[in-house]
Amino acid sequence: MIERYQRKVLKDLWSDQHKLECFLQVELANCYAWMKDGLFSKEEFELLKKAKVNPMRVLEIEEETKHDVVAFIKAVSENLGEEKKWLHYGLTSTDVVDSAYALIFKKVNQIILQDIDDFMAVLKEKAFLYKKTPIMGRTHGMHAEITTLGMKFALWYEDFKRLKHKFQLASQEIEVIKLSGAVGTYSTSHPNIQKVAAEYLDLEESIIATQTLQRDRHAFYLSVLGLIGSELEKIATEIRHLSRSELREVSEAFSSKQKGSSAMPHKKNPILSENICGLARVLRGYMHTAFENISLWHERDISHSSTERIIMPDATTLLDFMLVRYTKTIRSLVVYEDKMINNIESSLGLYASQKVMNALVDRGMDRLSVHDYIQKLARKVEEENRHLKDIILEDQYLKTIIDESTLNNLFDYRNAYQYIEHIFNKVFR
């Protein structure tokens, strides 16, 4: 991942140094299990625990071996004595690689989970802050009925509750080790070694595997990352729409020295939201590759390996960046409540057309006939640029059925949040 879209904490977790340190942790967990099984002494294990890994030395050896795990074992063994013979005992390379991935993912997932919690906290704060702030609801991009700005944030919060649950499930499925050997049969080990090593590393162990863990685990995980990115895009798209000059109901914070355009000095563009929309496309691209990795030849091939060196660090790093960036963006969002009211008023009461229709049905009129009648009046509103309530009050037929006081109630903005407490109690219970 390019540094522009990468935080140092994720960069460090996916660094060669940390990856090799995780390789070593897996090797030591395997050694610990064999020591507990009686293969060698505790004293020898204590010597093995002193092992260090030098990434530069690993790269030097890999130039000769053309095999990263063999290079790693050779490099670590150079600083060990006779006890080095127990290093990698009973293992195959992917035992180490996949199990090391599990260790990395466990730390990465903790960070992303905190990112999700931080973002949800901001959504909740905004939901309650604007719980009863009227804003025009739009369907098909057109004025519909009044909702509240808080409802938008509450909806996104509810979305993230589901996404957080999915992320936790996906995390559990990849925070898993396998030490079952070249084709998953434990032919050079035995199941208890994996069990003890898993406990040593505080990870779950696989139930069955080939030489690799099944890649549907990783595809599911990348799918969830893609879903989270798509939800961020959904929110960012709404912010972009509400920021348009014609609406101007919200805007991203804009610093005094910030520039919106090299050509037009007046521009204040929603660049952070646009950035999120673009990055979400990249994130979903990684998901496709992860699905392609599910089908491997027989007990394994390495067609997945090269891609995972790219997509796993990049996808997690990118989502972390997106969540942190958009948490800040939403926290500092500028809201123009007066403009929201102006935009509602610009509809000249058409937002209440259904409530008027229902009120007339309640008074004995046929619904289909009323629908046609109100539709004609709505066209008159547009043609004459007059408020729907005034046109109804002037209608010789309708004014005998419904009075002005009732109409005032039907056009009251507060109707938009008469059940807001009920909705919020369900979302934030």
In a domain, 201, yes or no: no
DSSP state of 415: G
8: confidence class by pLDDT, cuts 50, 70, 90:
very high
Angle between helix 149-174 and 93-129 (nearest 10): 170
The tally of CA atoms less than 13 A away on the side-chain side of residue 21 is 9
Both 333 and 297 in one domain: the answer is yes
In a domain, 182, yes or no: no
Q: Which residues sit opposite 356 in a β-bridge?
A: none
What is the reported pLDDT for 261?
A: 78
Both 265 and 379 in one domain: the answer is no
What is the reported pLDDT for 120?
A: 98
Q: How many domains does the chain have?
A: 2
In a domain, 304, yes or no: yes
Both 336 and 381 in one domain: the answer is no
Domain of 272, CATH number, reads 1.20.200.10
Arithmetic mean of pLDDT, 172-181? 97
What is the reported pLDDT for 400?
A: 87
Both 323 and 374 in one domain: the answer is no
Helices (H), 209-300: 216-243, 271-292
DSSP state of 367: H
Question: How do residues 109-159 score in pLDDT, each as one tens digit?
Answer: 999 999 999 999 999 999 999 999 999 999 999 999 999 999 999 999 999
* pTM (two decimals): 0.95
**Rounded Cα distance, 46 and 112, in Å:** 35
For 19, residues 6+ apart whose C-beta sits below 8 A from its C-beta are: 100, 104
Both 108 and 241 in one domain: the answer is yes
Q: Which residues constitute the domain of residue 336? A: 101-177+212-347
What is the reported pLDDT for 328?
A: 97
Both 264 and 388 in one domain: the answer is no
Q: Are 19 and 100 in contact (CB under 8 A)?
A: yes
Tell me the percentage of the chain whose pLDDT exceeds 70: 100
Both 327 and 218 in one domain: the answer is yes
In a domain, 402, yes or no: yes
Question: How do residues 371-413 score in pLDDT, each as one tens digit?
Answer: 999 999 999 999 999 999 999 999 988 888 999 999 999 999 9
In a domain, 205, yes or no: no
Both 266 and 134 in one domain: the answer is yes
Is the pLDDT confidence value at 93 over 90?
yes
In a domain, 1, yes or no: no
In a domain, 275, yes or no: yes
The reply to whether 140 belongs to the active site is yes
Both 117 and 251 in one domain: the answer is yes
10 Å CB burial of residue 234 (0-12, 13-18, 19+) is: middle
What is the reported pLDDT for 266?
A: 86
What is the reported pLDDT for 338?
A: 97
Element (H, E) at 145: strand 142-148
Catalytic entry in 187, 261, 332, 346: 261
**Rounded Cα distance, 414 and 378, in Å:** 22
Q: Are 156 and 238 in contact (CB under 8 A)?
A: no
Both 308 and 241 in one domain: the answer is yes
**Rounded Cα distance, 294 and 311, in Å:** 14
Catalytic entry in 140, 266, 298, 422: 140
Which whole-number Å values give the CA distances from 68 to 59, 94, 226, 353, 395, in the listed order?
A: 8, 11, 30, 69, 84
Between CA 423 and CA 251, with CA 339 as vertex, the angle to 5 degrees is 80
Question: How do residues 272-326 score in pLDDT, each as one tens digit?
Answer: 999 999 999 999 999 999 999 999 999 999 999 999 999 999 999 999 999 999 9
227 alpha carbon, distance to own chain's centre? 6
Both 113 and 130 in one domain: the answer is yes
Q: Are 173 and 217 in contact (CB under 8 A)?
A: yes
Q: Are 180 and 95 in contact (CB under 8 A)?
A: yes
Report which of residues 257 and 294 the model is more confident about: 294
Is the pLDDT confidence value at 210 over 90?
yes
What is the reported pLDDT for 399?
A: 84
In a domain, 20, yes or no: no
Both 302 and 168 in one domain: the answer is yes
Residue labelled with tokens 């229709």: 357
